Homo-oligomer: A and B are copies of this chain.
Amino acid sequence: MAGRIAGNRFWLTRKVDMSNTIIEQARLGKADSIVRLALKDESLSLSDALQKIAAGHAVVPSNNTRDIPVPCIIGGGSRIKVNANIGSSMDHESMDEELEKLKMAVSSGAHTVMDLSTGTAWKTILDGITAASPVPLGTVPVYQVFGVAMEKGRDVADVSAEEIFSAVEDHCKAGVDYLTLHCGVTRRSVALLREQGRKMGIVSRGGSLLAEWMEKRGEENPLYTGFDRLSEILREYDVTYSLGDGLRPGCLADAGDRGQIEELISLGELQEKALAAGVQTMIEGPGHVPMDQIAENMRIQKSLCGGAPFYVLGPIVTDIAPGYDHITSAIGGAIAAWNGADFLCYVTPAEHLRLPDIDDVRVGVITARIAAHAADIARGIPGAMDLDNAMAEARASFNWKKQFKLAMDPVTARKFRNEALPEDEDVCSMCGHLCALKTSRRAMGEEEKV
């Protein structure tokens, strides 16, 4: 298990047992070095982690063709993780910009990154991101198959099932650690959605493309019918499934309808098959959900999908705040994670309006981390409140340096304070000489301590 230092990164040679995937090793009680590394900041013991991975309650996404210096464990009582989506669209393709976004996402604390590039240069951008990313990387191969075909003037229906499987294999070969695959968008779930009626239809790109393909060809979703073949491909590269929620609600009114829940039932069936095939599996979830329906959503996912890690996008708790959807989703994400979600996909302020820029990536990651951290505390994860306690002590002792060090985003915190430094450097300009902390010390007879 040799390691080498490359710049600041510590690359581990991962393969302990190439004949078995991480989940298969875990069933044998064996821990890949990647799993050990993923437990660095967790309160989970190695044997607990292996049990959770073996049972399908936790995953450590990690393609066996490359090493990840900063892997992570998702689910099973570990700290809530945060993903940042980056990637270009045909309207705007720049490799440098995507690498800058990657850097910003990682330095802001994202645990994983998804490259959602859909333009013609997707492979170049993906290779660049794979080479540069210290954290696990996810993609959505279906975007390329259909996106590139449409750019070449082909109809969605003309894409063959072979092309779809071949794209999945391309992504596995490229070193991607987890793949979003909308395997649960079936003829039945789409029919239920159509029958019940929806304000927003299908708002998942992958889900809608597959539905169009199925509708036009009158065939079942090849990712559903060909799931065993899919699992064989993923198993070969030890890539983790992120079973996509192609029928997630796109507005509050569509939350929890038959199409959404039928898809979740299918994902539960497929998760069982995936585990049997030796492939780690996560389930993706909504979306736009009124606050009072979030806890139920989390519980029904856990019961339908064998306790698999739940990866949620949002949930966004109101539709009327474009420009602030990092906040609408932080509210939903915190409640979701507190009630069972394990993995939060960030949402940036640009959601519903345009592709995120580099600053949106920073704001998106920090905001999702706030939701994740608040949920870690609410779930009682051991040690989750240590930093908060240290911050309280730094505040009580007017130790500004330490406050900045403990802040999730030290640069932003320092910037705010420096914009209006008070005369008395101990306090802040909010209260000035009426600082409650100083008054409190006098009230408690603790003046001498300051």
Contacts and interface: CB of A to CB of B under 8 A. Distances in A.
A366 interface: yes
Contact of A320 (B190, B321, B331, B388): B388
A322 B416 contact: yes
Interface string A305-333: 00000000000011111111011101100
Interface in A408-450: 408-409, 412-413, 415-417, 419-420, 422-423, 428-437, 439-446
Given A199-B389, A395-B251, A428-B352, A321 B143 contact: no
Contacts of A256: none
A102 interface: no
Given A292-B378, A352-B395, A319 B388 contact: yes
A354 B212 CA distance: 53
Contacts of A150: 433-434
A250 B428 contact: no
Contact of A212 (B366, B393, B403, B439): B439
Nearest to A442: B212
Contacts of A406: 320
Interface stretch (A11-19, A48-56, A84-92): A84-92
A251 B391 contact: yes
A205 interface: yes
B389 A434 contact: no
Contacts of A146: 434
A416 B349 contact: yes
A20 interface: no
Contacts of A436: 202-205, 207-208, 250
| Max chain B C-beta neighbours (<10 A), residue from A150, A254, A388, A420 | A388
Contacts of A334: 291, 317, 331
A385 B318 CA distance: 8
Contacts of A151: 433
Number of copies: 2
A86 to B, nearest CB: 12
Contacts of A388: 251-253, 318-320
Contacts of A392: 199-200, 250-254, 319
| Max chain B C-beta neighbours (<10 A), residue from A203, A320, A321 | A320
Nearest to A424: B91
A419 B323 CA distance: 12
Nearest to A294: B378
A167 to B, nearest CB: 14
A73 interface: no
Interface in A84-120: 89-92, 118
A327 B370 contact: yes
A200 B395 contact: yes
Contact of A331 (B321, B323, B331, B419): B331
A297 to B, nearest CB: 13
Contacts of A320: 373, 387-388, 391, 406-408
Nearest to A322: B413
A354 B428 contact: yes
A34 interface: no
Given A91-B429, A322-B413, A354-B417, 9 more contacts: A89-B431, A199-B396, A205-B439, A208-B443, A251-B389, A252-B392, A291-B338, A291-B377, A354-B420
22 contacts: A90-B432, A90-B433, A90-B434, A91-B429, A199-B392, A200-B392, A200-B395, A201-B396, A201-B437, A205-B434, A208-B436, A211-B443, A251-B395, A291-B334, A317-B378, A320-B388, A323-B415, A327-B327, A331-B331, A331-B334, A331-B370, A353-B417
A-B residue pairs, 10 tightest by C-beta: A251-B392, A201-B440, A208-B439, A211-B443, A323-B412, A291-B378, A292-B378, A353-B416, A202-B440, A212-B443
